């Protein structure tokens, strides 16, 4: 529907998120040991799309946001707190992923684990890593 691009995109994202949650939940049902294999695959997929090795913190944050979907841009899910040459801090204002996992009786923690490994793969060619203590405030910094 070219007259409702936003609605079409939102619906498409929701469909993909729901299918991912259902597939992974089904793969892990009765086989929690498979999570390690899925995490390694997530890392490899991220590594295949690795960020430029010479990118700075701000550039890397932008690179991550082009490879991750956290709602629509107008949702303002990732809000920058501050930035230096070697550090980028932001807060997540909403959890836009967990409900897909709980709807299929899966674990949002599985999504976060896979996402974390995917991000580590993307950053594998750099001297940067992302950390969070609470899943709300994040720091991308040189290590």
Q: Please report, for the chain, the start and end positions of each structural domain, with discontinuous segments joined by +.
A: 5-142
pLDDT band at 2 (very low <50, low <70, confident <90, very high): confident
Which tokens belong to 99? 């409900």
pLDDT at 6: 87
Average pLDDT, the chain: 95
Collect all residues with Cβ–Cβ distance below 8 Å to 106 and sequence separation of at least 6: 21, 22, 24, 25, 28
**Stretch 110-117: mean pLDDT:** 98
Rounded Cα–Cα distance for residues 50 and 124 (Å): 6
Q: Report angle CA 103, 107, 108 to the nearest 5 degrees.
A: 90
pLDDT at 4: 86
Cβ atoms 21, 106 nearer than 8 A: yes
**Stretch 27-48: mean pLDDT:** 98
Which tokens belong to 88? 């980028």
| Cβ neighbours around 60 below 10 Å, total | 21
Within its chain, how far is the Cα of 102 from the centroid?
17
Q: What is the per-residue pLDDT across 49-100, written as a single tens digit (0 to 9) for each?
A: 999 999 999 999 999 999 999 987 778 899 999 999 999 999 999 999 999 9
pLDDT at 88: 98
Q: In this model, does residue 3 exceed pLDDT 90?
A: no
CATH of domain 5-142: 3.30.1380
pLDDT at 1: 64
- Is the pTM for the entire model greater than 0.85? yes
The helix, strand and coil proportions of the chain, stated in percent and rounded to the nearest 5, come to: 50, 15, 30
């Amino acid at each position: 529907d070219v007259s409702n691009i936003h609605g079409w995109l939102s619906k498409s994202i929701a469909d993909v998120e729901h299918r991912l949650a259902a597939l992974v939940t089904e793969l892990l049902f009765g086989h929690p040991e498979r999570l390690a294999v899925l995490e390694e695959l997530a890392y490899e997929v991220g590594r295949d799309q690795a960020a430029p090795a010479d990118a700075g913190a701000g550039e890397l944050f932008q690179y991550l946001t082009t490879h991750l979907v956290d709602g629509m841009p107008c949702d303002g899910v990732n809000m920058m707190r501050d930035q230096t040459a070697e550090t980028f801090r932001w807060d997540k204002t909403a959890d836009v992923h967990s409900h897909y996992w709980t709807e299929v009786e899966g674990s949002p923690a599985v999504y976060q684990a896979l996402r974390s490994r995917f991000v580590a793969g993307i950053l594998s060619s750099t001297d940067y890593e992302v950390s969070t203590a609470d899943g709300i405030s994040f720091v991308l910094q040189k290590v």
